[in-house]
């Protein structure tokens, strides 16, 4: 997991694919908003780490589609939904 | 972000764009976005050996990922319903003209567990995509391209779909 520094809005975890356009848009949005977050590029993981991560994502989003954004272990937003993301982060 | 040479992205983009226009499809007018997706496809080619969809997590086993080899089996249905494929690489006329914007859409691909169930239910057809018998009353069996729906009445499916360029293994027996 890669940490990106910024304003603390609680735990923000982005599960993404390094090759995906919507994931990139989501990452750019978080950067623009300047919030602190962790990002995991699931396609870059291999073996057990990949399996474990897929299970973790599936807990929030059964389809394990990307981007999956988990905010404060409470809200899960699937896909680049700009307004929903801003609202959930309170920005 | 990767070691894919920019010239390779550029040549792939030109070819994909020309092919798309020739066969009635359009790439998104957002060229930077398109090039990023093409880079993703080329990365996946290096990683997995085939053009796995950049916006879906590939399994790495080509037989299991066949439905998401770009162009995927879901592109045309998504173009009809949402005006763009799941990644928004391919878009409708309207989006191409700039009269609408692509939106993130739900993934039409069955989930991993649904795919497992489907697979278990479909009997393995040994003769799929190779020299099958014609149905009664017809001179030839009919093969359907799962990507674009092209039908071919002939002993075997064509090596490459003349419409969408999908390869032989993407054909299913239709009649
Ligand atoms: S056509 Fe399918 S595989 Fe190709 S980029 Fe679009 S969604 Fe992904």
B163 pLDDT more than 80 = yes
The answer to whether residues A6 and A36 touch, using CB atoms and an 8 Å cutoff, is yes
Centre of ligand 1 to C-alpha B72, Å, is 5
Residue A85 lies in a domain: no
Q: Does the residue A91 lie in any domain?
A: no
Q: Could you give the number of structural domains in chain A?
A: 1
Q: What pTM does this model have?
A: 0.90
- How many contiguous H segments (helices) and E segments (strands) does chain A have? 3, 5
Q: Which of A37, A43, A36 is nearest to A13 (CA)?
A: A37
Q: Is residue A38 part of a domain?
A: yes
What backbone torsions phi and psi does residue A17 show, to the nearest 5 degrees?
-115, 140
Q: Which residues contact B38 (CB under 8 A, 6 or more apart)?
A: B9, B12, B13, B16, B89
Report percent pLDDT > 90 for chain B: 79
Among B69, B89, B107, the mutation site with the greatest number of ligand 1 atoms within 8 A of its Cβ is B89
Q: Would you state the pLDDT for residue B169?
A: 94
pLDDT surpassing 70 at residue A52: yes
CA distance A24 to A39: 11
Least Cα separation, residue B67 to chain A (angstroms): 15
Classify residue A89: in a domain, yes or no: no
Out of A18, A21, A66, closest to residue B37 by CB: A21
CA distances to A66, B30, B74, B85, B90 from B82, in Å: 18, 17, 11, 8, 11
Whose alpha carbon is nearest atom 2 of ligand 1? B72
Q: What is the complex's ipTM, to 2 decimals?
A: 0.93
**Ligand 1 atom with the shortest distance to the CA of B78:** 7
pLDDT at A40: 98
CATH code, domain carrying A60: 3.40.30.10
> Is there a domain that residue A49 lies in?
yes
Our answer on whether the CB atom of B89 is closer than 6 Å to any ligand 1 atom is yes
Q: With respect to residue A21, please indicate whether it lies within any of the assigned structural domains.
A: yes
Cis check: omega of the bond before B71, within 30 degrees of 0? yes
Determine contact: A7 vs chain B, CB below 8 A.
no
Q: Are B90 and B20 in contact (CB under 8 A)?
A: yes
- Report whether pLDDT(B38) > 60: yes
Which domains occur in chain B, in start order? Answer: 6-120 (3.90.460.10), 124-175 (2.20.28.10)
| pLDDT for position B115 | 87
pLDDT(A86) > 70: yes
Is the pLDDT at B33 greater than 60? The verdict is yes
Interface test with B, best of A17, A19, A29 (most B CBs within 10 A): A19
Whether A51 is in a domain gets the answer yes
- Burial, A4: exposed, middle or buried (Cβ in 10 Å; 0-12, 13-18, 19+)? middle
Compute the CA torsion angle B140, B146, B147, B150 (nearest 10 deg): 20
Q: Give B-chain residues touching A43 at CB under 8 angstroms.
A: 47, 57-58
Name the residue range of residue A75's domain: 2-80
Mean pLDDT of B30-35: 97
DSSP notation for A43-62: GG--HHHHHHHHHHHHHH-T
Domain-located, residue A61: yes
């Amino acid at each position: 997991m890669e940490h990106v520094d910024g304003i603390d809005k609680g735990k923000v975890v982005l599960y993404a694919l390094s090759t995906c356009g919507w994931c990139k848009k989501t990452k750019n949005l978080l950067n623009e908003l300047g919030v602190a977050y962790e990002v995991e590029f699931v396609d870059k993981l291999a073996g057990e780490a990949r399996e474990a991560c897929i299970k973790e994502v599936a807990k929030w989003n059964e389809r394990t589609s990307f981007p999956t954004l988990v905010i404060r272990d409470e809200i899960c937003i699937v896909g680049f939904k700009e307004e929903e993301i801003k609202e959930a982060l309170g920005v | 972000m990767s070691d894919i040479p920019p010239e390779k992205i550029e040549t792939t983009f030109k070819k994909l764009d020309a092919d798309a226009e020739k066969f009635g499809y359009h790439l998104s007018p957002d060229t930077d976005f398109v090039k990023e997706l093409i880079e993703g496809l080329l990365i996946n080619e290096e990683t997995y050996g085939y053009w796995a969809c950049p916006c879906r997590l590939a399994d790495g086993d080509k037989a299991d990922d066949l439905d998401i080899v770009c162009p995927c089996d879901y592109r045309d249905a998504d173009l009809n319903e949402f005006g763009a494929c799941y990644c928004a690489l391919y878009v409708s006329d309207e989006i191409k003209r700039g009269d609408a914007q692509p939106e993130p859409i739900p993934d039409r691909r069955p989930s991993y567990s649904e795919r497992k169930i489907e697979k278990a239910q479909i009997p393995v057809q040994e003769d799929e995509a190779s020299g099958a018998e014609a149905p009664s009353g017809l001179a030839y069996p009919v093969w359907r391209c799962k990507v674009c729906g092209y039908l071919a009445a002939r002993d075997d499916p064509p090596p490459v779909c003349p419409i969408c360029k999908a390869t032989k293994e993407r054909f299913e027996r239709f009649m």
